[in-house]
Amino acid sequence: MDEDAGSMERIFNNGAGAIVTKSIGLKPRDGYPNPTIIELEHGILNAVGLPNPGIENFKDEILTLKKSNIPIIGSIFGSDSKEFVTLAKKMQNYGVNALELNMSCPHAKGYGLEIGCDPDLVKEITSQVKKSTKIPIFVKISPNLSNIIDIAKSAKEGNADGIVAINTVKAMKINLELKIPVLSNKIGGYSGNAIKPIGIRCVYEIKENIDIQIIGVGGITTGNDVIEYFMAGASAVQIGSGIYYRGVDVFKKIKNEIISWMKSHNIDNISELIGVAHK
């Protein structure tokens, strides 16, 4: 995920099937002061604060990508249904192929969990965006909830086309010498290898309880990781920290690893794997 057209194009040219933009809001946002990102033993902790150029300034990035016929999922965030609808309409007009409603950022004040933990609000926002647009709508939900199934059900009741699970896990790191939290925001979101079992669990639970398409996210760096998400019930995946760990050509590497695994297990079509763990 990124917000620069050039870097997004490089990712697509290295084997990604589509590009998810950085989450974009109505107005430019600087995010939090440094330090905002730190690598830990088994993952990456960040609290960047949803920095973005604002929807009006993002138009040229989308138009540049459209010239290369790259499928784009525009990720948006807002504080209420009105903001989400405004952003969704603009993204659609710019030419994105689908929308991701980010209702799950664990460290952005005024957004994220305040919205994403309320089933009624999730349903309302999803429904209003769906009514005002003509492209697929995916709702990104948080693992930091006790009612994740209720939230996913609310998204479906709002006519979402799919669920994106999961966002980062709420976390913190303290500097022992300075005796203070490492991040300027104190609390951040944990991503990378360590959260994959949490992502797998969330995808499995959603698939077990709700008939809806799921995009699996969290800790994917290898072909085996993708296959595990498929077996849990995802029919597509997003890769973020995998780029950090294995380089921008991680998509080609993962594709080859999946093909190799399928051949060794006599699997002809990847669709045969989706949801097989539900027995």
Tell the residue number behind the tokens 């490089």, with chain if given: 10
d(CA 219, CA 225): 8
* Cα 219 from Cα 209, distance rounded (Å): 23
- Single out the residue of 215, 258, 254, 257 nearest to residue 233, CA to CA: 215
Neighbours of 145 (CB within 10 A): 17
Residues labelled catalytic: 105
Quick one: which H or E segment has residue 202?
helix 196-209
At residue 109, the pLDDT reads 59
d(CA 31, CA 172): 18
Q: Set out the domains of the chain in order of their start, with CATH numbers.
A: 5-273 (3.20.20.70)
109 phi/psi in degrees, rounded to 5:
-65, 135
pLDDT at 2: 45
Supply φ then ψ for residue 72, to 5 degrees.
-125, 130
Contact indicator for 106, 170 with CB cutoff of 8 Å: yes
What was the pLDDT predicted at 49? 87
pLDDT in tens, the chain (279 residues): 445 788 889 999 999 999 999 999 999 999 899 999 999 999 999 999 889 999 999 999 999 988 888 999 999 999 899 999 999 999 999 999 999 999 986 655 555 556 888 999 999 999 999 999 999 999 999 998 889 999 999 999 999 999 999 999 999 999 999 999 999 999 999 999 999 999 999 999 999 999 999 999 999 999 999 999 999 999 999 999 999 999 999 999 999 999 999 999 999 999 999 999 998
Pairing of the two strands 213-217 and 236-238: parallel
**CA 39 to CA 214: how far, in whole Å?**
28
pTM here is 0.94
Residue 254: partners with Cβ closer than 8 Å, 6 or more residues away: 15, 220, 221, 222, 223, 225, 226, 239, 242
The SS3 call for residue 76 is strand
